[in-house]
Structure 1
């Protein structure tokens, strides 16, 4: 349950702490690097470890509130009201929500996007966040600031207020390519702010199974060694599930790899560390060159696409089927998106192969696009009907039963390896419930994320046919 902080009684009897609040800003002008996920779960883990933590969202998208299940229609005041008010006339305590013990949130709203225009030309506008945080510095041990994916007044306010800056960087090629420019931009902001802040790089969305991620992380360590944090946030579906349920990972699954990663990150940030400042002459004196030759780069590109295809097909670390609730998009729409992604990746692999052939290079791809699609597990619509594909390596028989066949199991056909089972059913438009029967045991389809409870206290998988 999320509670407005001003609705709670004062914290009587609290012993004043000598520690001064440390403010950490998460900044990256590139979106999709897991910045908000890091901000939410870092703050939650610090609170879980007994540190009084404030999470401040200065991104007008307001995703911190969404990811922590704070009802948008109940947010009467946000950080926008604090930053637009004259200095000293409003306090962050007026807008904070208590998320958990030791964990408060100062949410954002879309109105924050107009702040830069409203404060244009007003002296001291770049110090408004620092001023607001200074008045609650005795109430918290740590403040985490989630910044917008752009450079403007809001990010400048965060830099002015911060003691440390953490740059979340996805372990992908384009993120690595833009990291040097991102560091240069942070250095320019630091000079404009005229303050010394510690800058650290945090590798996120790291998937050790892919060659690209391993190479990018190694390149980051070589180029930015002392700036790169020891902690690396691994790709973990539990983090995405936690956000969809409006919970930090500390509440959703404290046994997950995601929780352990953020616990390690919290310990690293909370522990003593030498102050590291940027020296562009050291890191950017020469352009960062990729060590691969042209031929090796093309072969590596093909391998990357193949690995990505394999991850989609194999359903790596699929979450438990989600109980049906308010779903904004239909199953069919999601299935079409996944199919489109697979087709796009396969087409790109074919294009890379053609480019390699034009240069006299022989790059091998395992299987055609259609074969890749046929190996994709789950449910999808085909010209012949609805195709169900399941992967059960140790099964002797797999059947499918549902509303469409009176719940009488229809045996699925297995391939030569006897681990992939398929069934194509000519279903009319509608919504159907079904289950798989694996060696006589009834269960939900592990490759279909959409399900709903049945009268027997278990889950039925759900498919929609348009």
Structure 2
């Protein structure tokens, strides 16, 4: 099992779209994929037509056993997406209460790692969609993953969010005493606008060693796929946004 986490401490940068697009491409290759939603907003859960406000079985249940995860529990929480080879472990809005509930409880930063150990032989890839805030959920995701993908919208305000994310990443790396492979992925790129092209140029200059060499473009097909609850590649494999994610996947695997 390979575990990839998609995170940024700024919302609206394309995290959920990246998780679904990459997961869908893996599923096309007949790889068994689990999409895990650790964001209390539940965007990934909503994408596949589940309501994070009312769902009963979700990632929140994993944190209810004082640092332990019952062996039978993770598989009980997983739901189909309607796409072959692609499953979902949904989120509920109750995840937002974890910070105050977990005060003083040891081992809460390894819940997702323990969960994935139970599911290790069930999936080839796990893609985790994260909350945009640093807390027990993001710490869990970073502790569990072997690769971190950081989507960054190509607009000036996103640069500050990336600075915060890089600071968080360095703290986590120091605490774990090992390096974490990560890639910064420019998203929502519109070559017609000066703001987008200048921001991309700045990103490539400041983060030359870790930034993806291309960018994910603005693509209305992403919105259409979200409305239908399917990966973008299942809607239109030839659209320029899907082609960009295919190129990204190749580079992530190399």
Deviations 1:51-93 (A, max 9, x none): 2111100001111121122366884300111232352415321
1:34 to 14, 21, 24: 14
Deviations 1:120-168 (A, max 9, x none): 2111111111110111111111111111010011111111111111111
Q: Match for residue 144 of structure 2?
A: 161
Q: CA deviation at 1:193?
A: 3.2
**SS of equivalent residue, structure 2 residue 186:** strand
Which structure's residues are more often strand, by fraction? Answer: 1
TM-score normalized by structure 2?
Answer: 0.92
Q: Match for residue 24 of structure 1?
A: 4
The question of 1:93 aligning with 2:61 is answered: no
The question of 1:207 aligning with 2:190 is answered: yes
CA distance in 1, matches of 2:161, 2:7: 14
> Relative to structure 2, which stretch is displaced further, 122-131 or 189-198?
189-198
CA distance in 2, matches of 1:234, 1:185: 27
1:446-465 to structure 2, matched below 5 A, reads none
1:262 to 241, 245, 253: 245
Is the contact between residue 159 and residue 190 of structure 1 (CA under 8 Å) also seen in structure 2? Answer: no
1:177-326 to structure 2, matched below 5 A, reads 177-269=160-252, 271-272=253-254
Aligned residues: 251
Higher relative contact order (CA 8 A, sep 6+): 2
Q: Match for residue 145 of structure 1?
A: 128
CA distance in 1, matches of 2:50, 2:244: 25
CA distance in 1, matches of 2:48, 2:80: 10
Which structure's residues are more often helix, by fraction? Answer: 2
Alpha carbons of structure 1 residues 152 and 73: separation in structure 2 relative to 1, 3 Å: closer
Q: CA deviation at 1:239?
A: 0.3
Q: CA deviation at 1:209?
A: 1.1
CA distance in 2, matches of 1:243, 1:154: 24
CA distance in 2, matches of 1:51, 1:115: 32
> Relative to structure 2, which stretch is displaced further, 90-99 or 141-150?
90-99
Q: CA deviation at 1:261?
A: 1.7
Is the contact between residue 110 and residue 144 of structure 2 (CA under 8 Å) also seen in structure 1? Answer: yes
TM-score normalized by structure 1?
Answer: 0.52
**SS of equivalent residue, structure 2 residue 168:** helix
What is the RMSD of the two structures over their aligned residues, measured on CA atoms?
1.8
Q: CA deviation at 1:235?
A: 0.5
Alpha carbons of structure 1 residues 114 and 213: separation in structure 2 relative to 1, 3 Å: same
Alpha carbons of structure 1 residues 72 and 28: separation in structure 2 relative to 1, 3 Å: closer
Q: Match for residue 81 of structure 1?
A: 61
CA distance in 2, matches of 1:53, 1:231: 25
Is the contact between residue 91 and residue 135 of structure 1 (CA under 8 Å) also seen in structure 2? Answer: no
Q: Match for residue 51 of structure 1?
A: 31
